[in-house]
Chains A and B, each alone.
Chain A
Amino acid sequence: MSKTIYFDNAATSWPKPPEVVEAMVRFLDEVGANPGRAGHRMAVEAGRVVYEAREAVAELFNAPDPLRVVFGPNATEALNLALRGLLRPGDHVVTSSMEHNSMMRPLRALERQGVEVTVVHCSPEGFLDPTDVEAAIRPNTVMIALNHGSNVVGTLLPVAEVGRMLRQWPAGAQHAAPLLLVDAAQTAGAVPMDMQADGIDLLAFTGHKSLYGPMGTGGLIIGEQVGLARLEPLKRGGTGSRSEREEQPTFLPDMYESGTPNGPGLAGLTAGIRWVLEQGVEAIRVREMALTQRLIDGLRGIPGVTVYGGLDARRQTATVSFNIAGMEPSEVGLRLDEGYGMMCRVGLHCAPAAHRTISTFPVGTVRFSLGALNTAEDVDGAVEAVARLARGAL
Chain B
Amino acid sequence: MTSNEQGGTSVQHAVILVHSANHAPKAEKALQQAGITCKLIPVPRRLSSDCGVCLRIRRADQETALRVLEKARVEIEGVHEI
- Chain A residues close to B by CB (< 8 Å): 35-40, 43-44, 47-48, 50-52, 54, 65-67, 239-244, 249, 251, 253-254, 257
Contacts and interface: CB of A to CB of B under 8 A. Distances in A.
B49 A47 contact: no
A289 B48 CA distance: 55
Interface size class of B (residues with CB under 8 A): 20 to 34
A51 B22 contact: yes
Contacts of A66: 26
The B interface, classified by DSSP as helix, strand, loop or mixed, is: loop
A254 B22 contact: yes
A39 B21 CA distance: 9
B40 interface: yes
B50 A243 contact: yes
Nearest to B42: A39
B50 A67 contact: no
The A interface, classified by DSSP as helix, strand, loop or mixed, is: loop
B24 interface: yes
Interface of B: 19-26, 28-29, 40-43, 48-53, 73, 75
Contact of B42 (A40, A67, A243): A40
Closest 9 CB pairs of A and B: A39-B42, A36-B21, A241-B20, A51-B25, A244-B49, A39-B53, A44-B40, A48-B25, A47-B21
Given A47-B25, A67-B26, A244-B49, A39 B41 contact: yes
Contacts of B19: 241, 249, 251, 254
B50 A47 contact: no
B22 to A, nearest CB: 6
Nearest to B25: A51
Contacts of B21: 35-37, 43, 47, 240-241
A229 to B, nearest CB: 16
A241 B29 CA distance: 20
B43 A39 contact: yes
A242 B22 CA distance: 12
A38 B42 contact: yes
Contacts of B22: 36, 47, 50-51, 54, 67, 241, 253-254, 257
